[in-house]
Every structure is written in C-alpha cells, then in structure tokens.
Structure 1
Amino acid sequence: MIKQLRGKEIPLVKFIWGGATPESATWELEENMKAAYPFLFTSGNFEDEIFKRRGDL
C-alpha cells in the first residue's frame, strides 16, 4: 500500500503478527520490515514468499 501524506508517498506493508485475527495485523514501513525480515522480500514477489513459507507452493 502506498500512503499519500502531504505530497509524499510512503510505502507500507501489512504484517500479521502471530495470528489471523484483525487485531494482530498492523501496517508497517516497508523499509523497516525489509531491514528486519529481508528473507520476505528476496524473491521480488512478497505473496510467493509467504506461500513458500506456509507450504502452499
């Protein structure tokens, strides 16, 4: 998601922390999450990486 803020574009990613409930999901700065969890962004396709880790691919 790209958030527009006073003429700036801020890239955000939605992270689900430990559960599938809406309360466990937060929007985080993409650059912070890339620094903390680089393995999630290595393939270039974020959804593919999630499915690989869950065993869906």
Structure 2
Amino acid sequence: MVKQLRGKEIPLVKVIWGGATPESATWELEEKMKASYPFLFASGNFEDEIFKRRGVL
C-alpha cells in the first residue's frame, strides 16, 4: 500500500505478527521491513521465502 501525505508517497507493507488473526496485523514502513528482513524481499515471492526459512520447502 502507498500512503499519500501532502504530496509525499510512503510505501507500507502489511505485517502479521505471530498469528493469522487480523488483530496481529499492522502496517509497517516498507523501508524498515526491508532493512530488518531482506530475505522476504529478495525474490518477490514472500510465502516461498518464509517456508524455505522454516524448512517446509
């Protein structure tokens, strides 16, 4: 999602922290998430990367 603020665009990503419930989801700055979790943005396919890290794939 891109938030518009006075002519400025702020890219955001929705993050689900710990569970699959809507209450555990927040919108975070994309730049901050890329810095903290670069492996999620490497291939563009987030689910595959998460499963690889967990050893599922």
TM-score, normalised via structure 2 length = 0.82
Q: CA separation in 2, counterparts of 1:49 and 1:23?
A: 21
Matches within 5 A, 1:12-23: 12-23=12-23
Structure 1: gaps of 5 or more residues: none
Amino acid of the structure 1 residue aligned with 2:46: E
Q: Scaled by the length of structure 1, what TM-score is found? A: 0.82
Q: Quick one: percent identity of the two aligned structures?
A: 75
DSSP 3-state at the match of 2:15: strand
Task: Quote the Cα distance in structure 2 between the aligned partners of 1:34 and 1:3.
Answer: 17
What is the alpha-carbon distance in structure 2 between the residues aligned to residue 11 and residue 26 of structure 1? 14
**2:30 aligns to what?**
30
| Runs of 4+ with deviation above 2 angstroms | none
Give the aligned length. Answer: 52
The Cα of 1:40 is off from its aligned counterpart by: 0.3
User: Partner of 2:35: helix, strand, or coil?
Assistant: helix
Unaligned runs of 5+ in 2: none
Alignment deviations for residues 14-33 of structure 1 (CA, whole Å, 9 cap, x no partner): 00000011110000000000
